[in-house]
Amino acid sequence: MNTVASSLHPNVALPSAPSSPLPPGACDAHAHIFGPYAQFPLAGARSYSPPETPLEAYLDVLDRVGFARGVLVHASAYGLDCGLLIDALERAGSRLRGVAVATASCGDAELADMHRHGVRGLRFTQFDDPAVAARFKGSVGFDQLALLGPRLRGLGMHAQLWSDAGTFARASRNLLALGVPLCLDHMSHYDVARGVHDSAFQTVLALLREGRIWVKMSVNRNSKRLPGCEDVRPFHDAIIEANSARLVWGSDWPYLGMGEQSPDVGQLLNIFDRWTPEPALRHQILVDNPAALYGF
């Protein structure tokens, strides 16, 4: 990781600049911010305690690598309190959009207010695999999406889903029946060891090919071969081939829980550039698609 510090937060290392300039209007579709904790303390019941990485540090990252836009995803360490996200969207203006969390107890006026501030989706988390310790404390499960579906449709908001590919595949029929646009986190969080012919990943590809889902391209959460991520290349290529019009690219900054394995955003963009050499395709994924999904 490059050791240049952000202008506001000296313990946040800025990434290297990518080898090739990003197209105008490029968007990082997945990042989290935390703090300052004196103003926005973490939830008492949480699964992790990250260091402060406030809005200003993330904006420094965007500037460093050349992103014109970004999408902030509410983190479970804040529980259901989306105050930090709304504050960041207010201060960043039209440059950022948000993905919040809410349960069915959230009122219509509150949901509408989120949308007014730039929230374009709600995140729902579901893990069946005990190896990932079930859902993170503070996250919201698929059951709440079933209850919120009509109101999300009414506001034109989508559901961002974080689960493993198998869990999504088993739930996909019921989820699609809600009529809410679905966007899968982390390239659907597949198991690299199972290969691209795994039935769960093939279900993801089939739905993507039909244009029924969106997928976030973030290779680092699936790779067992960081920093090059070559084990992810077949999955990347299969997703691109299935439907490039339903893909967005996300850095996943600041790489929660990855420690010394944390990648460099500029290097991740270099991987994307090598694996996706066609300028028109890169423009579609980095600019056109997020503009459509997040309403930039």
Domain of residue 214, CATH code: 3.20.20.140
CB 222 within 8 A of CB 187: yes
Q: Is residue 7 one of the residues assigned to a domain?
A: no
Q: Is residue 79 one of the residues assigned to a domain?
A: yes
CB 232 within 8 A of CB 223: yes
**Cα–Cα distance for residue pair 293/182, rounded to 1 Å:** 10
Q: Is residue 161 one of the residues assigned to a domain?
A: yes
pLDDT of residue 132: 55
- Grouping H, G, I as helix, E, B as strand and the rest as coil, residue 189 is coil
Q: Is residue 288 one of the residues assigned to a domain?
A: yes
- Grouping H, G, I as helix, E, B as strand and the rest as coil, residue 107 is coil
Tokens of 107: 């009122």
As for how many domains the chain has, the answer is: 1
Do you know the residue count of the chain?
296
Strand partners, 182: 159
Is the CA virtual torsion 32, 189, 186, 81 positive or negative? negative
- Grouping H, G, I as helix, E, B as strand and the rest as coil, residue 157 is coil
Q: Is residue 262 one of the residues assigned to a domain?
A: yes
> For residue 206, which phi and psi values (nearest 5 degrees)?
-65, -45
Each of the 296 residues of the chain gets a pLDDT tens digit; together they read 444 555 556 667 789 999 999 999 999 999 999 999 999 999 888 887 888 999 999 999 999 999 999 999 999 999 999 999 999 999 999 999 999 999 999 999 999 999 999 999 999 999 765 555 667 788 899 999 999 999 999 999 999 999 999 999 999 999 999 999 999 999 999 999 999 999 999 999 999 999 999 999 998 888 999 899 999 999 999 999 999 999 999 999 999 888 888 899 999 999 999 999 999 999 999 999 999 999 99
Q: Is residue 12 one of the residues assigned to a domain?
A: no
Q: Is residue 53 one of the residues assigned to a domain?
A: yes
The strand order across the sheet containing 119-125 reads 27-31, 69-73, 96-100, 119-125, 158-162, 182-184, 214-217, 247-249
Q: Is residue 11 one of the residues assigned to a domain?
A: no
Which range of residues forms the domain containing residue 167? 27-294
pLDDT of residue 88: 98
